[in-house]
Every structure is written in structure tokens, then in C-alpha cells.
Amino acid sequence: MSTIKDIAKYTGLSVATISKYLNGGNVLPENRKLLEKAVKKLDYRMNHIARGLKTRKSLTVGVLIPRLNNIFYSTLISHIEIALSAAGYSTIICAYQDDPDTELARLDFLLGKGVDGLLFIPLGSSSKCFNLLTASNVPVVMVDRTFEGIECDAVLSDNFGAAYNTAGYLSQNGHRRIGVILGPEGVYTADERHQGYTQAVRDFNLDPEPELIQRGNYGIDSGRSCMEKFLSMKNRPSAVFVTNYEMTIGAIIALEYGNIKIPDEVSIIGFDNLELAQTIKPPLTIVTQRLNKIAVEAVKLLLDRLRGNSGDNVTVKKFSTELIVRDSVKRI
Amino acid sequence: MSTIKDIAKYTGLSVATISKYLNGGNVLPENRKLLEKAVKKLDYRMNHIARGLKTRKSLTVGVLIPRLNNIFYSTLISHIEIALSAAGYSTIICAYQDDPDTELARLDFLLGKGVDGLLFIPLGSSSKCFNLLTASNVPVVMVDRTFEGIECDAVLSDNFGAAYNTAGYLSQNGHRRIGVILGPEGVYTADERHQGYTQAVRDFNLDPEPELIQRGNYGIDSGRSCMEKFLSMKNRPSAVFVTNYEMTIGAIIALEYGNIKIPDEVSIIGFDNLELAQTIKPPLTIVTQRLNKIAVEAVKLLLDRLRGNSGDNVTVKKFSTELIVRDSVKRI
DNA sequence: ATGAAAGCGCTAACAG
DNA sequence: CTGTTAGCGCTTTCAT
């Protein structure tokens, strides 16, 4: 592997000139030619490590997420990676497996790696990252979830609205007993959706029974057991909505298993995954989030910070969700 | 951010001693204490960029894959990331969106980034990466797919066996006209599965009609249109097997849409995704790959290379697939 | 066990 | 436009 010095030797020019050339500066046409030839001939490739040491930039962004084996996150990351690489950044991915200690450790790891910026889907209120985050100076954009009380850019879905409108839609269709399967307490999105739901219960005069709110852990099994709880109630909900993809799968498995007809016996609204929705019989009514927009906006905000054109105040964007109506809700 | 020099100033020791200490070398107990205190007090954190420049190691592994918004890859990456981070490596992910030029560009990018090693799921025979790959000296482990003629470690599924055995299973159940929906020609796994299928056609005396082999592009739509082609044949296959998750979804959508009963009218075997399989009615018989084992083995092989205990000859491991029998195949 | 010094490959004043 | 030079933060002989 040849270095800038080898090029200098080969061309007779100084390393400074070569550095300038490599960074798009002006050099004499003849020297440009010479350099192009030398670069090709010596198969020169920039050592980004060395450059990074000098410039204090790694052109690397850390992406810290709960898990990777989850279609919601992996789709989001896919869009993020495309947007970042288009801007010349590489993406270091760390998953913390839903664990607060791992979350902190991975954050520390990324910071230590010298990432220029961070895209972060934090655990939620049980997160231990607040201090480390505020102490470090790397720009952070929260994605999908955020912390209460932290001062940084965030790009979120309108989770409150998603839950509120979904319950509203069910109410319009005559449902009064509406079950909801939420994520764990303390997870930002789950809490917001919870509030949207309870507000809808008030506004639309829905049945306020506490057992209509079940909490899963976003896994398939938990979706299944939550739905089974609903089915075992003396007075079942007439409709259930589930707030992520995996739990939606679990809920449907429970219904299949119990031989419950959708939507005749129970109406159901799923979350996040259009593809799944179409394979189910009947096709599922679902709430989808604008993952592409969220990813692109988050990357944009981060790049603005990295390039220093952001000003002092933070930006928080919320994207509305979309209700895609199919056949899994019965009008009663 | 404090550096090793600040520590030197603070403790009165030399940078050499401090470097030694930081790397686990022996120092006098009293100095050790002093150093621990200094590190804490000055909030010292190693600059990995600087270290990397000197040691020529980045403790970073590149992972180059076709796409990220695909449950097969994202699950694989999830396992890979866990294994790599346990070994102290960070994972730079690049997706090439199934495009040969992007594949080459991203490979070049990763090599330029100074990754210590590479985990690579290449496009296949239309890949343009051969030269760059052999020219570079970074250790590479192929995952899931490999190149013909390249000399490097690889961890694969037994794709030939998967297709052969699946066709065999269908044949045992009395099927003679067996349709298969494969990936594109030139993709390693698709080619191997193709061979497995045609060998089974010979060995089990199946209907050898060429139209029974359809080629999709691994997308949902292509799965759907391939299945529609089967359905529109005057003489339909009695069973179809589909060779990835997304195309399986598409095939099922086609069946739902055409109101075709599974397995009474068409038997079907899917691929890769156990979760999906359970939400379908009836539950789907599927072929699954041992993603966790593949990921762990690939990381192990790469780490062995990075640590220099590998010897000269390459290792190619093949993991068998597993047929999970449910109710989507009819005995005829 | 510790320290002095050289240098990894590159950039950025500064001078010419 | 080009060259000289001084480092970025760390590791690594080689002395001591």
C-alpha cells in the first residue's frame, strides 16, 4: 500500500501539494496529470485513519438501536444506511438487545470509537445513558424514541395520534370495548401510545376497563399471550389493536389457535408491516409509520449538525402515521 | 478530551509508561494507582483512531450485504453483530442494493476505511469484486454465498441439499409436478438450489417440464407473479416451493387472491421464516437455515484469520437446512 | 520498570 | 501554485 510520500517521491512534488490535490485543491494542469498517473500507477488509496487523526473527523456515524432482528428497526436502518452512505459516511451499528446496561456500554463504545455523530433509538425512561450523552459533545439525533428532558434533535412518529386515531376509527365502527396491546411501560413510544389510547377512551366514551390494556415486550410470544388474555375474558373486547409487528403476529397466532374468526368474532388492527397484512386472511387493517421519511429526516438533521449549520435550538419532528384500511375490522 | 500527554503531565510519568499501562503491561503498584486516579480524574478515553494509525488495526469489520431490508439478512447481521461486538470489534455495515456497481463501490469504500476484515455476502457470478478482493490483503469470509474460483473461507447453507430434499419430500407425498420459484440466475444460492432441484427431478422421476422452474428477484411482487404463472398453466403443478421469505409472501398473496385452497388445490413449501409460517392458514411447511450457527462460525473464522491462527488453506463450511413440517403439503 | 525519541499517513499554516 | 515544517495521539524500540 503506497502512501502520500511514495507519490511525492514518484512525482517529485511535495506531500503538501499532493494532499491539496487529493482534497480537490488547485494544482497546475501538468501536475494534475502527473498525479493522476502516479495515483493509478502506485495504486494509492487514502488512509482514512491517518486523515481522521489529523482532521478529527472519522466520517463515521454510530447507530445505536434496541435490536437488529426486528423488521421495524432493520427497515429503518436500511434507509438510514442508504442516506448516510450517499453522504460519504459509514455506519457503525450497535444493538443493545433491549438491555439498559448493554445500552450504556455500547454507547460508550461508540463514543470511544470516535464517531462524528450518533443516531440513537434509546431504551426509554430506564435508560442510563443520559449523563454520558450530555457529557459528550458528539451531535445526537434521537430516532423513533427520545428521552424526557434531554436537549437534542429528534425524529419521531406521532404515537399519541396513532393510538388516538386508531381507537377513534374503531369507535366510529361501533366498538366500545377496545383492547390494546402495548409495549413495556417506560418505553417512550409505548407511553405515548398509551396516552393516546386513554385520551380516546375519554373522548369517545369507550369502555375504560383497565384489563383492556395489556403490556407485551414486543416479542411474538407476548403478543400471543396478551391476546389469549383478551380471549379468556368473560366480556371480551370486540376489537383489539396491537402496537408492533411481532406482537401482531403473536396475536394472530392466538386467534388462529383459538379458531376465532376475524373480524366476525374479534376485529383487529395491526402495526407496521404492510407485507404481512396482505398474507393474512382477511387482509389486515394496519397502522404504518413513515420509516423512509423518518430515516431521511434524521440523517438530514444529523448532517446539518455535523456541518455546523444548525443553530442552537433543537428540532423535534413528528411524522403522522397512516391507517391502511382492509378487512379485519367489522362495523358493529 | 484528555490525551495520554495530559496523563503524563498529571502523573509525572512518561507517555511510554502510560501506553504500557493502558495496554495491560506491568507498572509499579504505586504508579498503577496513580494512573487509575489520573484516568478517572481527567476522564481519559483512548483515541482509537490514533492507536489504529500506529498499530494498523482498526478493530473494525466490514459487513457487505445485498440489502438490509430483508429479514434473512437482518437476522444474520443481528447474530454477526452480537458475535463481533463480544470480541471487541465494531461492525460497519454496507448494503449494495443488489447492484453490481454499488457492490464494487461499497467494497472499495470498506477497504478504504481500513477494516481489519470483511464478512461478505456477494452478489454472485455477475459480481465485479473478484479483482479488488484478491488484490487486497484483508481477510474475507464469504457468508451465505461465495464466488466460484475464489480462495477464501466461506460459511454456507447446503443449498443443493435443501432443494433436493424438499423436492424429495414432496415426491414422497406423491407429487410429480413440482414447481419451484428460484432467485435470479447467477446468484450462488439460487444456482445451487437449481441444481438440487434438477437432480431431484432426475432421481425421483419428477415431471421435468422447464416451465416448472420460475425465477423471481427475491421481491414480494416477483413471488406473486411467479405463482400466478403457475396458476395460469393448463396443467398446474400440484406443489410449489419457494426459496425465500419475501417470495413466499408473494406466492401466498397470489393464492389468496386466486382463492386457491392450501393444500387442497396447491401444496406449498416456504422458506426461512418460522414466524410467518405460523400466521398463515394453514401453518406453512418451511425450510429454515441455521442462521445463528452460520453467523457464529463466520465470525469465528474471521477472528481466527485476524489473529493469525488459520494456516494457509481455506475453510468452507456448509450447514444443513431443516424442513419443518406443518400442514401446507397434501399427500396425494 | 521507566523514559527518550522516532514515526504511523495525513493536513494545515506559513513562507516563498 | 508549491514546499517546509510541525504536529494529530498513540505505540514501540532501545537505552537506562
Specify the CATH number of the domain B159-289.
3.40.50.2300
- At B36, list the grid cell: 487509575
Give the pLDDT score at B242: 97
Q: Does A67 touch chain B (CB under 8 A)?
A: yes
Best B68, B80, B284 member to test A by mutation, with max A CBs in 10 Å, is B68
Best B45, B49, B72 member to test A by mutation, with max A CBs in 10 Å, is B49
- Distance in angstroms, CA of A17 to C1' of C9? 15
Every domain of chain B and the residues it spans: 4-46, 58-157+291-319, 159-289
User: Cα separations (Å) of B276 from A189, B71, B217, B268, B329?
Assistant: 25, 11, 20, 14, 16
Closest CA-bearing residue to C1' of C1: B27
Q: Please work out, in degrees rounded to the nearest 5, the angle formed at the alpha carbon of residue B228 by the alpha carbons of B226 and B229.
A: 65
What value does the mean pLDDT take over residues B160-176? 97
How many residues would you count in chain B?
Answer: 332
Inter-chain residue contact A68 with B74, CB threshold 8 Å = yes
Note whether A248 and A271 are within 8 A (CB). Answer: yes
Residue type, B201: V
What value does the mean pLDDT take over residues B238-257? 91
What value does the mean pLDDT take over residues B125-139? 87
Specify the CATH number of the domain B58-157+291-319.
3.40.50.2300
Give the pLDDT score at A57: 92
- Distance in angstroms, CA of B55 to C1' of C6? 15
Rounded to the nearest angstrom, the minimum Cα separation between B86 and chain A is: 11
Rounded to the nearest angstrom, the minimum Cα separation between B256 and chain A is: 8
**pLDDT over 90 (residue B247):** yes
Beta-carbon contacts of residue B242 (< 8 Å; ≥ 6 apart): B180, B181, B223, B226, B227, B248, B251, B268, B269, B270, B271
- At B65, list the grid cell: 450485504
pLDDT tens, position by position, B56-66 = 999 999 999 99
Give the pLDDT score at A213: 97
- Distance in angstroms, CA of A307 to C1' of C11? 19
The nucleotide whose C1' lies nearest the CA of B17 is C2
Q: Which range, A242-251, B147-156, B234-243, has the best average confidence (pLDDT)?
A: B234-243
Q: Does B249 touch chain A (CB under 8 A)?
A: yes
Give the pLDDT score at B99: 94
pLDDT tens, position by position, B93-114 = 999 999 999 999 999 999 989 8
Give the pLDDT score at B309: 81
**B137 falls in which pLDDT band (50, 70, 90)?**
confident
Inter-chain residue contact A279 with B280, CB threshold 8 Å = yes
- Cα separation, B221 vs B253, whole angstroms: 9
Q: Strand D: which positions are within 7 A of a protein CB?
A: 1-13
Say yes or no: do domains B58-157+291-319 and B159-289 share a fold.
yes
DSSP state of B210: G
**pLDDT over 80 (residue B188):** yes
Give the pLDDT score at A276: 75
For chain A, residues with pLDDT lower than 50 are none
Give the pLDDT score at B273: 78
- Cα separation, B35 vs A41, whole angstroms: 48
Is residue B261 helix, strand or coil?
coil
Chain A neighbours among B 166-225 (CB < 8 Å)? 220
Inter-chain residue contact A253 with B220, CB threshold 8 Å = no
**B126 falls in which pLDDT band (50, 70, 90)?**
confident
Chain A residue numbers with beta carbons less than 8 Å from the beta carbon of B69 are: 74-75, 78-79
Beta-carbon contacts of residue A106 (< 8 Å; ≥ 6 apart): A64, A94, A95, A96, B85
Residue type, A58: S
Give the pLDDT score at B257: 84
Q: What is the mean pLDDT of chain B?
A: 93
Which has the higher per-residue pLDDT, B237 or A246? B237
**pLDDT over 80 (residue B276):** no
- Cα separation, A169 vs A147, whole angstroms: 29
Give the pLDDT score at A181: 98
Q: Within 10 A of A174 (CB to CB), how many other CB atoms are there? A: 13
- Distance in angstroms, CA of B46 to C1' of C7? 19
